[in-house]
Amino acid sequence: MSIETNEIYNAKDIEYEAQSYWLLEKTFLADENNSGEKFYSLCMFPYPSGNIHMGHVRNYSIGDAIIRYKKMCGKNIFQPMGWDAFGLPAENAAIKNKTHPASWTYTNINNMRKQLKQMGYGYDWSREISTCSPDYYKWEQWLFLRLYERGLAYKKKSIVNWDPVDETVLANEQVINGRGWRSDALVEKREISQWFLKITDYAEELLDGLDHLEEWPVQVKAMQKNWIGKSVGAQIKFKIKDTEEIVEVFTSRPDTIFGCSFIALASDHIFVRKLAEQRSNIKLFTDKCRQMSTAESDLATLIKKGIHTGFTAINPLNGEEIPIWIANYILSDYGTGAIMGVPAHDERDHEFASLYNLPIKQVIKSIDEQNTNIENLFIGKGVLINSGQFNGLSSEEAINKIIQQLNKKGAATLETKYRLRDWGVSRQRYWGAPIPIIYCADCGTVPVPEDDLPVVLPEQFEFTDKSNVLKNIPEFYHVNCPSCGKNAVRETDTFDTFVESSWYYARFTCADQQNMMLDKRTNYWAPVDLYIGGIEHAILHLLYARFIHKVMRDEGLLTSNEPFTRLFTQGMVLKDGTKMSKSKGNVVNPQDYIDKYGADTLRLFIMFSAPPDQRLEWSDAGVDGSYKFINKLWNTVHRYTNSNLTKQFHSNKAITIEQTSLRRKLHETLEKVTDVMETRLSFNTAIAAVMELMNTYNKFVINSQEDKTVAQEVLDCIVIMLSPIIPHVTHVLWRILGHDNALITEKWPKVDELAIIQDTVTIAVQINGKLRAQHLICIDASEQMVKDELFSLREVQKYITGKNINRIIIVPNKLVNIVTN
Ligand code: ANZ
Ligand code: ZN
């Protein structure tokens, strides 16, 4: 039996048919020769964990709705999909399940691809990327070598957070309460040699560029700005009394220098390191500091601890002698790793000084007299006091004058600092892209020659939980030095997986290109017009991608300045108010719903149940409601097409009020839905509007040929408007409505402005049969609206107050008769 004649909505058959059509017709294959204006929509690609989860469904349903809408508007669309396939979980899973990270990953990819296809997303699968494929990471290695040549990739020793269980380096954000975010192991500090990319060279451009990203959420831009953390200030030299040594501090507030009552050094400061070698109490203290989290967010709330060094520093401006301390709240990798402590004007210094009884001396007074010292602490700028010749100056003036004066003595320089650190890309893990470097005893660090790329990650060996996997694969580890030919060894660190995800959007545009990293297709498609993903990537992923984009631009690989024109961050999917997680056992699996209801129901529920940028609470009842709605739509269309269409209605040339009002509703809805698709992306409100329109339609009775024409227009439009959200059932209904073309090739309809104009009509108001008033109302006002409006009229009030209303007779758009006792 064909789908059309089947009265019952059968999601499985319908979805199979629609998907087969799109596949056969190559509907979503990218085409650089299409005349339409290009539109590149991208959702953050998934980590192939095994199954798609509801977060993916939400993310990808939004992207797909947009791309389908844009296609119907005549845009030349591109929507690719791929796999962020390297990373630690594959190794952990392989150890647990006694398999290989590679086969675990490939199996998962196959399964998830199947699931995404079942969801009916319009991807160009011909440009699929797996980041673990040598075809892909070859170009990453190639770009790394370009960066190495330009001095933008370098190796240095650094102290890292070391997770002893996962045996890997952790970023500060991955250390939670001193423990590894994944392993929960106590994190140690270790000094190891690692590769870095010089993102700090781009700090200023990354910051400036934010101002031009007009279509990014403001909070994401604020987070990036904070992360880059530009600070303009001075570096000031303090002599250490009775030594030849100097401590340099970085301060954004040179105007407070007369209030400086101590110097505080980070536990890793060179002077401290020297002291620690001689003094066991200092060593003990700094060892303790090292075990603590260095995440800056934790520093504010940290319980301050310090130890006096016994040394004294000399204030270069007034010669005052102040003690030098070591303190746990000083970051070793910001500024100079040393500060001048000004307890009267800095909160942390205040806390520290109070704890150790160090002097608190006010040197800034608020301009606003109301706002004076609260417990000896005034943060903010004002007017200088207790500051010798600088008294009476404003903070701004004093900052300039003080820097000038110190500068003359060679004791200060103007400095701009960024909180942003260079990007450590080394990972001591197997399942990642090899860093293309060789170490030779004679030649030192030798880049792998371009012709020898890719350095392929070996996959054919028995994977066990031993660390240093790559060092134990001789065919990989041992190589001849490309420069002298002698025995040498390969770098065994692999890239941070953020490296792969920082340029995949560009590679999609030419995924099959074997001879270069990017080709001219990149400049056609890039930048991505709409990028959709979770807010958790607001900082690192998006910043790294912006950085690598600029690097690729400077390499001449592409011409745009930014990778993503518009950014949309979707909200999380929750169950019982919390994030779905295996450990809580509250995960709902999309596959169960695809099997039970079909993809359209799942898509409708996820798009309808909440504004897309807000949290969405999972609800089985809600899913059921979505299924019912699709059935109702199915039945509504069938009721129309099955009604006796061959019957010749008599033609009633005059346009009826019912027709006008239904068409008005239709075009108001179309206007709203179009606006949602173009700008706000609040799909839930668009769907609600279409549902309302359908309710209105269902009250409409077809009596004439003209009625039928209006009904057809309304149903056509309902089907079109819902098609980006529920593309399968609408694909079939479109044909059932009598169209020869496929729905996805149909043009998005234009709003009929004339239909929206509100008409009014004068109605007669009678009370007990006597004409009491004439009143102007909207032509299609509902009964309730008419009643509300008339009862508020003074002429009417006069006759009905204190009486019981027995009956109200309404002749639409003509007359209302109110019958009282
Ligand atoms: C004296 C002072 C007085 C400061 C005052 C602030 C207020 P921003 O502007 O965010 O960059 N600082 C400098 N290096 C530090 C480090 N390694 N670890 C912890 N704190 C450090 O912050 C610059 C200010 O942060 C600097 O200015 C310094 O404290 C502190 F009323 O110097 B200030
Ligand atoms: Zn050599």
Which residues sit in the known binding site for ATP? 582
Q: Ligand 1 centroid vs 346 CA: distance in angstroms?
A: 8
With a 6 Å cutoff on the Cβ, whether 29 touches ligand 1 is no
Fold held by 230-418: Isoleucyl-tRNA Synthetase; domain 2 (3.90.740)
Q: Ligand 1 centroid vs 379 CA: distance in angstroms?
A: 12
β-pair type (230-240, 262-265): unpaired
Listed residues: CB within 5 A of ion ligand 2: 440, 442-443, 481, 483-484
Quote the pLDDT of residue 1: 43
DSSP characters for 529-571? EEEEEEGGGTTHHHHHHHHHHHHHHHTTS---S-SEEEEEEEP
pLDDT at 145 over 80: yes
With a 6 Å cutoff on the Cβ, whether 252 touches ligand 1 is yes
What's the CATH number for 138-198+422-497?
3.40.50.620
Report the length, in residues, of the chain.
821
With a 6 Å cutoff on the Cβ, whether 339 touches ligand 1 is yes
Nearest bound ligand to the CA of residue 481:
2
Whose alpha carbon is nearest atom 1 of ligand 1? 251
- At 262-284, the pLDDT tens digits run 999 999 899 999 999 999 999 99
Highest mean pLDDT (candidates 120-129, 174-183, 750-759): 120-129
pLDDT at 181 over 90: no
Least confident stretch, 147-151, 448-452, 774-778: 774-778
pLDDT at 37 over 90: yes
Helix (H) or strand (E) holding 689: helix 683-698
- The minimum-distance atom of ligand 1 relative to the CA of 342 is 3
Quote the pLDDT of residue 644: 64
Nearest bound ligand to the CA of residue 439:
2
Quote the pLDDT of residue 679: 94
Note if the bond before 454 is cis, omega within 30 degrees. Answer: yes
Least confident stretch, 434-438, 575-579, 594-598: 575-579
Helix (H) or strand (E) holding 626: helix 620-642
Q: Ligand 1 centroid vs 233 CA: distance in angstroms?
A: 9
CATH class of 760-820: alpha beta
Number of H helices, E strands in the chain: 27, 34
Q: What is the mean pLDDT of residues 801-818?
A: 88
Least Cα distance to 107 among 90, 129, 123, 120 occurs for 90
β-pair type (770-778, 437-440): unpaired
* CA atoms of 240 and 341, how far apart (whole Å): 15
3-state class percentages of the chain: helix first, strand second, coil last, to nearest 5:
40, 20, 35
Least confident stretch, 15-29, 364-378, 432-446, 530-544: 364-378
Domain ranges of the chain: 138-198+422-497, 230-418, 760-820
Contact 67/79 with Cβ under 8 angstroms?
A: yes
Whose alpha carbon is nearest atom 12 of ligand 1? 339
- At 690-706, the pLDDT tens digits run 999 999 999 999 988 88
Q: What is the mean pLDDT of residues 148-159?
A: 94
pLDDT confidence band for 791 (50 / 70 / 90): confident
Chain centroid to CA 7: how far? 43
Residues with Cβ within 8 Å of 375's Cβ and at least 6 positions away in sequence, in order, are: none
Quote the pLDDT of residue 14: 97
Strands of the 760-767 sheet, one edge to the other:
770-778, 760-767, 815-820, 805-811
pLDDT at 296 over 60: no
Residue 520 CB neighbours (<10 A): 12
Q: What is the mean pLDDT of residues 190-219?
A: 96
Q: Ligand 2 centroid vs 453 CA: distance in angstroms?
A: 18
With a 6 Å cutoff on the Cβ, whether 255 touches ligand 1 is no
With a 6 Å cutoff on the Cβ, whether 46 touches ligand 1 is no
Q: Ligand 1 centroid vs 227 CA: distance in angstroms?
A: 16
Contact 57/602 with Cβ under 8 angstroms?
A: yes
**SS in 3 state form for 377-412?**
ECCCCCEECCCHHHCCCEHHHHHHHHHHHHHHCCCE
* CA atoms of 272 and 282, how far apart (whole Å): 8
Choose one of 232, 248, 250, 326 to mutate for the ligand 1 pocket test, by most ligand atoms within 8 angstroms of C-beta: 250
Nearest bound ligand to the CA of residue 444:
2
